[in-house]
Amino acid sequence: MLHHLSIGELAERLASRQISSVELTRHFLERVERFNPSLNALITVTADEALAGAAAADRRFAAGERGRLLGIPLIHKDIFCTDGVRTSCGSRMLDNFIAPYDATIVARLKSAGAVMLGKANMDEFAMGSSNETSYYGPARNPWDRTKVPGGSSGGSAAASAARLAPYTTGTDTGGSIRQPAALTGITGVKPTYGRVSRYGMIAFASSLDQAGVLARTAADAAAVLAVMAGFDPRDSTSVDVPVPDYPALLDAPLKGLKIGLLREFFDGLESRNAALIQDALKVYMSLGADTVEVSLPHLPMSVPTYYVVAPAECSSNLSRFDGVRYGYRCSQPRDLTDLYERSRGEGFGAEVKRRIMTGTYVLSAGYFDAYYLKAQKVRRLITDDFRAAFAKVDVVVGPATPTPAFPIGAKIDDPVTMYLNDIYTIGANLSGLPGISVPCGFIDALPVGLQLIGPHFSEAKLLSAAHHFQSATTWHTHTPAGYE
């Protein structure tokens, strides 16, 4: 079946003209039509544009062009601006917003010939760990539709896991690619801060946000990241560092890889989850890696640090939604203040308002030093801990999440409990480090993720390490029942 083929296999079949991009696109659009009503993984389906894009890709093949992603479908997280297509960011605020331009990653993938099937569901403005804060309702986990797919890139993860597209895009501010990838049994890559352009990606927390990819394997993710990554003059924090040819480096020798076991990640970890991580480490040792324990003493402070820094940046970024230039406007405003307050009060959902208010509070006079400045100092201590660890090891390894997928509704009323879902992923964002989550087993028939974090710009090493693991294991090949 076409939806079980890797990106590399699809590219070969397209290149040899065994299948056309139009046929492939129709196949995935049919799956979207069949499964999306029960998964709610997509907010918008762009079938006509997809078929037109596929026909254009077929003309490029006919003209002799070849490419790793040419003619292959994808689904974009609805946080990326897509010219002429609604870009809602999961919010009522942008329910009527037609993006007037393409995000840089959208443009890059489009020019590589990627075919967009639609826009994926997500937590509102990427604020959430369960996809339950979406204005469009929760996306569901294909392994068990009563469970969350994780978040904020929950629709992207559900769509990739259910094989509605060969890959999807996502963004990761505190774990929003790695956590949903882990909860849905796929591979999720969060690159180094600045590695992938943020231009046209609706901002949540600008010093933490980074775009990445959710795919079934590290090899597929490598092919996509090679196109997404790279310097963009339109993003002032984009980094001008050459992009390695990630697919060509997947088979780099693993022998001698020094893996650091993050002591803080194993403290209090549920025993079945810990056993799966230990099994994964045995696989790495059998492949010739060495493991040593490392300690990051300030890491346990990463969640409170994040929940000062991220809301502070969010309160600033989301001030642009004012009911004047675009987005939702309340009806019958009495005056300008009423227009601002009600447009924002009615246009934003509960969690977004909570984060804006948290951010406003920690930045307000009298509290700035105690909260915001303090958090920035602790952020440096956490980053120094990582730096010290990477002087001794190549990568650090631990679980991606504290538990497998939890039931829809279980944590939504308790924000602090929800925030603790990201306890293992937030550190990489605070320090701008790349991370990857790969499937490493099941607990109660729900997937569990292994996380690898590396130094800045070590994506090639992480992808290769994940690829070696996937060459020695079969966890990434499992398909949820009903989506075979």
Q: Which of residues 451-470 bind another protein (CB under 8 A)?
A: 456
SS3 assignment, position 173: coil
In this structure, what token pair is assigned to residue 237? Answer: 């924090």
Of the two residues 185 and 455, which places its CB atom closer to another protein in the complex?
A: 455
Of 113 and 432, CB closest to another protein: 432
| Residue 167 beta carbon to another protein: minimum distance, rounded to whole angstroms | 26
Give the nearest distance from C-beta 361 to another protein in angstroms.
5
- Report d(CA 130, CA 421) in Å as an integer: 9
* Number of amino acids touching another protein (CB under 8 A): 73
Span interacting with another protein, options 11-19, 41-49, 107-115, 429-437, rule CB under 8 A:
429-437
Q: Is 388 in the site for another protein (CB under 8 A)?
A: no
Answer whether 7's CB lies under 8 Å from 68's CB: yes
Which range of residues in 55-63, 278-286, 380-388, 391-399 is near another protein by CB under 8 A? Answer: 380-388
The verdict on 419 binding another protein (CB under 8 A) reads yes
Please check whether residue 88 is in contact with residue 95, taking contact to mean a CB–CB distance below 8 angstroms. yes
Closest CB 479 distance from another protein, rounded Å: 36
Smaller CB distance to another protein: residue 177 or 259? 177
Q: Which residues contact residue 345 at a Cβ distance below 8 angstroms, ignoring those fewer than 6 apart?
A: 330, 353
Residue 284 lies near another protein (rule: CB under 8 A): no
Rounded CA separation 405/334 (Å): 45
Whichever of 413 and 484 has its CB closer to another protein, that residue is 413
Give the one residue of 26, 52, 237, 272 binding another protein; rule: CB under 8 A: 237
**Cβ–Cβ contacts within 10 Å for residue 174, how many?**
31
353 lies in the site for another protein, by CB under 8 A: yes
Positions in 181-200 near another protein (CB under 8 A) = 193-194
Based on the shown chain and the rule CB under 8 A, indicate whether residue 233 belongs to the binding site for another protein.
Answer: yes
Contact characters 83-122, another protein, x per CB under 8 A:
-------------xxx-x----------------------
Ranges within 311-350 binding another protein (CB under 8 A):
315, 319, 322-329, 333-342, 344-346, 348, 350
Q: Tell me: does residue 10 bind another protein (CB under 8 A).
A: no
Assigned token pair, 271: 């025993």
Give 39 or 356: the residue with its C-beta nearer to another protein: 356
| Residue 304 near another protein by CB under 8 A | yes
Q: In the range 32-61, which residues lie near another protein by CB under 8 A?
A: none
Minimum CB–partner distance for residue 414 and another protein (Å): 8
- Cβ nearer to another protein, comparing 100 with 482: 100
Least CB distance to another protein at residue 370 (A): 7
295 binds another protein (CB under 8 A): no
Please give the positions annotated as active site: 77, 152, 176
Among 239, 262, 289, 450, binds another protein (CB under 8 A): 239
Interatomic CA distance for residues 174 and 176, integer angstroms:
6
**Cross-strand pairs, 148:** none
Which residues in the 391-410 window bind another protein by CB under 8 A?
A: none
The contact mask relative to another protein for 131-170 (x = CB under 8 A, - = no) is ----------------------------------------
Q: How far apart are CA 314 and CA 292, in angstroms?
A: 38
Question: Beta strand pairing status for 258-262 and 290-294?
Answer: parallel
Residue with smaller CB distance to another protein, 8 or 402: 402
The answer to whether 1 touches 50, Cβ cutoff 8 Å, is: no
Does 376 bind another protein (CB under 8 A)? Our answer is: yes
Sign of CA dihedral 106, 86, 413, 127: positive
Nearer to another protein, 61 or 328 (CB): 328
Neighbouring residues of 223: CB distance < 8 A, sequence distance ≥ 6: 7, 8, 11, 68, 69, 246, 247
Neighbours of 331 (CB within 10 A): 7
Cis geometry, peptide bond prior to residue 152 (ω within 30 degrees of 0): yes
Helix (H, G, I), strand (E, B) or coil at 204: coil
Out of 248, 370, 388, 481, the only residue in the binding site for another protein (CB under 8 A) is: 370
Q: How many CA atoms lie within 13 A of 89 on its CB side?
A: 26
**Which positions ≥6 away from 279 have C-beta within 8 Å?**
440, 441
DSSP 275-326: HHHHHHHHHHHHTT-EEEEE--TTGGGHHHHHHHHHHHHHHHHGGG--SSSS
